[in-house]
Chain A
């Protein structure tokens, strides 16, 4: 099952759709679900849900696991962690530094 390594465009495209975000939320609440189980929660044809799952899989946001005849879908948070590190963690650093500076100043006042 060779697959091209997903890039950031695929990832953000996959996230830019409310139905796909709902699928991720459903898997976050309860991981390892089949297509049928996911269909129960969306007002959409089975084919439509399957297509959304394909987009999420291509972006590596979902990891499918075959168990017997069933295909179970697991939420894969690794690409989201990469978004966090690239887009959020680095913007947090100045605030962390401000807090550390504050702590040092307060502690020095007592020292």
Chain B
């Protein structure tokens, strides 16, 4: 099977509506859990999508393939910064939100039609950190990975 896929799942004590908004339109919230990064899009099928760094550089770009709020979002996703990753072309990122006993099961499936893939290798380091930060921020109001140095006692 010439395809590389990663699947990440986390359960977050929130509502599908809230989770959908912080994955899409709530840019300020997104910057907090995504290490300064945010996305720009109309969030409807066919609209363009891009991910911008804190200083406004386009990191990734593509388009929304499917948008069914607050259940399912599919993004055609191409990296833009590193030539060797950009050369791999489009990947597909699917986000699924499913209510689960007072929480929401968020699953993120990121795949590309090639094996091995440097892109999938690169994003696989980031997703678990982003998702656990997102979970902490929604559940406790603060992120897990905070300032690198503690205050002196």
* B128 and A78 contact, CB distance less than 8 A: yes
Smallest beta-carbon distance B14→chain A, Å: 11
The proximity string for B residues 45-78 relative to A, scoring 1 for CB distances below 8 Å and 0 otherwise, is 0000000000000000000000000000000000
Q: CA separation between A5 and B5, bound complex, in Å?
A: 24
Q: CA separation between A100 and B148, bound complex, in Å?
A: 10
For the complex of A and B, list the 9 residue pairs with the smallest distance between their C-beta atoms, beginning with the closest. Answer: A5-B11, A74-B7, A81-B128, A63-B7, A63-B9, A85-B144, A5-B103, A77-B128, A81-B132
Q: CA separation between A74 and B109, bound complex, in Å?
A: 10
* B150 and A78 contact, CB distance less than 8 A: no
* A93 and B132 contact, CB distance less than 8 A: no
Residues of A participating in the B interface, judged by any CB pair closer than 8 Å: 1-6, 31-32, 60, 63, 65, 74, 76-78, 80-82, 85-86, 89, 93-94, 96-97, 100
Q: B129: CB under 8 A from chain A? A: yes
Q: CA separation between A60 and B148, bound complex, in Å?
A: 28
* A82 and B132 contact, CB distance less than 8 A: yes
* B145 and A6 contact, CB distance less than 8 A: no
Q: CA separation between A3 and B127, bound complex, in Å?
A: 22
Chain B, interface size: which category?
20 to 34
Q: CA separation between A26 and B129, bound complex, in Å?
A: 22
Residues of chain A within 8 A (CB-CB) of B100 are 2-5
Taking A85-B145, A97-B150 as contacts, is the C-beta distance between A60 and B128 under 8 angstroms? no
Taking A60-B10, A85-B144, A100-B149 as contacts, is the C-beta distance between A80 and B101 under 8 angstroms? no
Interface members, chain B 22-63 (any A CB < 8 Å): none
* A78 and B10 contact, CB distance less than 8 A: yes
* A89 and B150 contact, CB distance less than 8 A: no
Residues of chain B within 8 A (CB-CB) of A85 are 132, 136, 144-145
* B107 and A93 contact, CB distance less than 8 A: no
* B9 and A97 contact, CB distance less than 8 A: no
Q: B131: CB under 8 A from chain A? A: yes
* A80 and B128 contact, CB distance less than 8 A: yes
Residues of chain A within 8 A (CB-CB) of B124 are 77
Taking A2-B100, A81-B132 as contacts, is the C-beta distance between A89 and B8 under 8 angstroms? no
